[in-house]
C-alpha cells in the first residue's frame, strides 16, 4: 500500500477515535511536553459541593495528581454542571468507585470521617480515593511510599503523592483517545483497615 494511503487511513482512524471519545479537553501539561501531548490530556471534573470540611484536602489531593500526571487533569466542576467524580463527606470509612472514569461517565468518592477520627490524614485519604477513580486498586498491605496502600501504611503516614508505578498506571489508563472508550470497573472499594 502506498505511504499516502497509510497516512490517510491513520488520520481517519485517529479522527474517528477522537470523535467517539467524548469531550476530552486540553489541560496544562508539565513544561517540556509537546503540544500534541497537552492536547491529548483528558479533563475530569469533580463536584465537592457535598464534601464540607474536606475542601482543603480535596484541593491538595487533586493538586498532587495534577502535578504528577499529564494525561489526565482534575478540575472543579462549575456549579450546576455534571461532574465525572462526585465527592461526598460521610460518617463511615472512605470508599470510592474503581475507575478509570471517562469524560461523560461518573464515579463516587466518599470521604469518611471514621478514618479521620482514627488518626488518618485527610489529604492522603482524598488523594488515595481519587486514585481509585483514576483506575488504581488498593495495594494492601504496603508502605507509606505507595499512595494506594491506604490505611495499611498506618496513621503516621501523610504521603499524598503517587509513586512512579502509580503515576505510570494512570498515565497508561489515559494514554490515548481509544482508552477513553474503556468503561469503569464499577466496583466500590472500601478502605477500612
Catalytic sites, residue numbers: 129
**Nearest residue to 87 via CA among 121, 125, 116, 140:** 125
- CA 145, 148, 152, 156: dihedral to nearest 10 degrees? 50
Long-range contacts of 19-23 (CB under 8 A, 24+ apart): 20/177, 20/180, 20/181, 21/102, 21/103, 21/177, 21/178, 21/180, 21/181, 22/102, 22/103, 22/104, 22/180, 23/103, 23/104
CA within 13 Å, CB half, 149:
18
According to DSSP, residue 74 is labeled E
Q: From CA 62, how far away is CA 55, in angstroms rounded?
A: 11
Q: From CA 35, how far away is CA 12, in angstroms rounded?
A: 20
Q: From CA 99, how far away is CA 46, in angstroms rounded?
A: 14
Amino acid at each position: 500500500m502506498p505511504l499516502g494511503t497509510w497516512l490517510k487511513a491513520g488520520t481517519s482512524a485517529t479522527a474517528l477515535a477522537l470523535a467517539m471519545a467524548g469531550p476530552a479537553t486540553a489541560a496544562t501539561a508539565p513544561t517540556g511536553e509537546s503540544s500534541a501531548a497537552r492536547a491529548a490530556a483528558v479533563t475530569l471534573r469533580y463536584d465537592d459541593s457535598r464534601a464540607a470540611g474536606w475542601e482543603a484536602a480535596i484541593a491538595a489531593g487533586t493538586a498532587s495528581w495534577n502535578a504528577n500526571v499529564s494525561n489526565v487533569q482534575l478540575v472543579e466542576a462549575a456549579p450546576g454542571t455534571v461532574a465525572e467524580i462526585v465527592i461526598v463527606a460521610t460518617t463511615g470509612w472512605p470508599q470510592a468507585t474503581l475507575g478509570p472514569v471517562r469524560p461523560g461517565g461518573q464515579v463516587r468518592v466518599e470521604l469518611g470521617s471514621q478514618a479521620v477520627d482514627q488518626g488518618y490524614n485527610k489529604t492522603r485519604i482524598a488523594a488515595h480515593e481519587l486514585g481509585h477513580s483514576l483506575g488504581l486498586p488498593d495495594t494492601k498491605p504496603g508502605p507509606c511510599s505507595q499512595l494506594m496502600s491506604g490505611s495499611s501504611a498506618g496513621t503516621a503516614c501523610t504521603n499524598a503523592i503517587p509513586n512512579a508505578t502509580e503515576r505510570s498506571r494512570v498515565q497508561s489508563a489515559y494514554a490515548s483517545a481509544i482508552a477513553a472508550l474503556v468503561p469503569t470497573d464499577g466496583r466500590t472499594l472500601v478502605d477500612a483497615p
